[in-house]
Amino acid sequence: MQLRKCFQYWYALLKWIKECLRDCVGTAVYLQKNLPRSNSYHPVSPQCFVRLKRKPMLLLQTVGREILLHLIDHLVTNYGRDPVITRLLNNTRIHIMPTMNPDGFEATVVPDCYYSRGRYNKNGEDLNRNFPDAFENNNNLIQPETQAVINWIKNETFVLSANLHGGALVASYTFDNGNSVTGTSNGYSRSPDDDVFIHLAKTYSFNHASMYKGTGCDSKQTFPDGITNGYSWYQLEGGMQDYNYVWGQCFEITLELSCCKYPPAEQLEKFWRDNKVALVEYIKQVHLGVKGQVTDKNGNPIPNAIVEAKGRPHICPYRTNEHGEYFLLLLPGKYVINATVPGFKSMLKTVDIPDNTANFSALKQDFSFPEVSVKPRPASCPRTPLYQELERSSAAVKPTLHILVLVIVTISILK
């Protein structure tokens, strides 16, 4: 009943809109959020299992703007009618940002398919080149819109994200930038979770009406299975999906949904039909892997504990949120999960992760430490080119990292 009430406000009067920022000319950028539970916090416990915060994030450009309006309508009108949509919304918290760059949208006047003026904000900056970069110094002044999104990412516990664009037809995944540490000498910039990113990209492309065919927009540029590593396509500095993955603990892919950036209005309904199933299936992937809570012996949550899958080290270690919760997107298989709290011996637990996306719940694995008198310090991962520093480190480190990459590739192929 509460969810339906929230939807009524959201759908009819937009009462559940949270203002994220006001850009340089005063146009508001909004976040829309469905609230499948009350504003009070529900800890990770069996009775509240279906209410865990697994929050995808969706951003958009022109075609995507219309597609997501259709998505909101689809979710609202099918809640309580369609069992899949109902379970999805009962178990997933979804945030939608209608636009990150209202300046660019407002500046678009009678565009053609390849009109590009709308990609820049009032200050002439491309916001998808404006984020801190893990591989090289991004000397562009961070824009108000970018800073607001950075703050938003920092204050939430996002797990899965999609960034919708136009101008191509492909699902692109991290890394967009790279160096020798990530294997760019081979024209591919590989993350520690490359297998998961390939799965996420294929989930979208194979549920899309035609993206999976990989034909792209012309015969000169094809994408096998309709996906690509971002760096393999073209190198990009200051992109949002790399920032989200490195600093936000959130797996994001970029979805290019239309060869024509500004198609005729009569084609928008078809774009929605082409993407409807893919969007829902992609959001369901937020329930991949393992989740849980790190607590002391009295059941008090421990924030900022490091929780990682062994053999998949992130340059910024993934940590628990203020409620002691962690979320790791992992494909089905056996893993060793390592939980670390300063002052105590690390706890290792072996888990066998099933494919639970159809049940809308990742595997649950909690960790309980002896009473913690000093809480871990907040995560401190500076906004500097972290992989650049790693590349400069001793030569002895590099072979180990490349061996890790090779092992992950082998596992991915075997699966």
Whether residue 103 sits in one domain with residue 57:
yes
Residue 398 has pLDDT above 70, yes or no: no
- Could you read off the pLDDT of 143-183 as tens digits, one per residue? 998 998 999 898 889 999 999 988 899 999 999 999 988 98
Structure token digits, residue 380 = 């401190």
Under the banding of pLDDT at 50, 70 and 90, the label for residue 265 is: confident
pLDDT for residue 236: 93
Q: How far apart are the first and last CA of the chain?
A: 42
> How many H-runs (helices) and E-runs (strands) does the chain carry?
11, 15
Beta strands in 25-96 (DSSP E): 28-33, 55-59, 95-96
From 145, 252, 256, 325, active-site residue? 256
Q: Does any domain span residue 123?
A: yes
pLDDT for residue 29: 46
- Beta bridge partner(s), residue 325: 293
Catalytic residue at 145?
Answer: no
**Mean pLDDT within 326-338:** 97
- Could you read off the pLDDT of 35-82 as tens digits, one per residue? 444 444 444 322 222 223 456 666 545 788 888 888 888 988 899 999
Distance CA 317, CA 379 (A): 8
CATH of the domain at 265: 3.40.630.10
Q: Domain boundary residue among 272, 287, 302?
A: 287
**Rg of the chain over CA atoms, in angstroms?**
21
pLDDT for residue 413: 30
CATH of the domain at 300: 2.60.40.1120
Number of domains in the chain: 2
Phi, psi of 336, deg, nearest 5: -110, 120
Residue 289 has pLDDT above 70, yes or no: yes
Phi, psi of 214, deg, nearest 5: 75, 15
Whether residue 166 sits in one domain with residue 248:
yes
Under the banding of pLDDT at 50, 70 and 90, the label for residue 110 is: low
- Could you read off the pLDDT of 228-254 as tens digits, one per residue? 999 999 999 999 999 999 999 999 999
- Domain region containing 360: 290-369
